[in-house]
Amino acid sequence: MKRFLPFIIIAAVMVAALIVTLILVRSSRRAATNTNANTSGAEPPGAEPPHIRGNRDAPATLEEFADFQCPSCGVYYAELKKIEDEFGTRLRVVFREYPLAPRHEHALMAAQAAEAAGFQGRFWDMHDKLYENQNAWSDAKDVLPIFVDYAKQIGLDTDRFTRDLNSDAVAARIFQDGKRAHALGVTGTPTFFVNGKEAKGESWKPEGLREMIKKALTEAAGK
């Protein structure tokens, strides 16, 4: 018996090790399953805090991914202003940066200008200024002096604006919005989501977008 005792001990250790290994593998699989379950339903990332116009507690949210140099975004800008006025406090608008560079050579700089203005609490002022004057700066060779002038017109500290324009903080916000766009499958501008549902086909047009908002309001009222 003594002669076989070492082999019995070794066998017992091996069995114990196998049991521990199986427990660890099962635990890791459960952890991975829980992690996947948590992340699959998670909200895609984006710049925080987002740029919001309107009632922050509105039952309907219109989220736009846009490029300040995009002609379609420029045309849609006037329609969006009408939609905001029509729905009033029932709608909040969220803007996300999605500059289509290098296709639009000044799009990234325009996004930086808007974000830099946001650091002084004037994002929407710069947003409106860029769209209202899109034709004036889109074909310019050097847009920096133009954007600095816009900053001055809306009452910004232009020295701080110029510093913030190329800051890591501004770059990070644009990058985070880009990550959100990628996660949601955005490929062009403008792209709209109403309460998380993408506006496609006829719904992408102004009247279709209005119908989506009305439907979202009806659904919110029924909850």
Q: Domains in the chain, ordered, with CATH?
A: 51-221 (3.40.30.10)
The rounded distance, in Å, linking the Cα atoms of 210 and 67 is 21
pLDDT (tens place) for every residue of the chain, 223 residues total:
544 444 444 444 344 443 433 333 343 343 333 333 333 457 788 999 999 999 999 999 999 999 999 999 999 999 999 999 999 999 999 999 999 999 999 999 999 999 999 999 999 999 999 999 999 999 999 999 999 999 999 999 999 999 999 999 999 999 999 999 999 999 999 999 999 999 999 999 999 999 999 999 999 998 7
Helix (H) or strand (E) holding 147: helix 144-153
The reported pLDDT for the residue numbered 117 is 98
Burial class (CB in 10 A: 0-12, 13-18, 19+), 154: middle
Which segments within the chain are labelled E, that is strand? 51-54, 60-66, 91-97, 191-194, 197-198
The rounded distance, in Å, linking the Cα atoms of 200 and 212 is 10
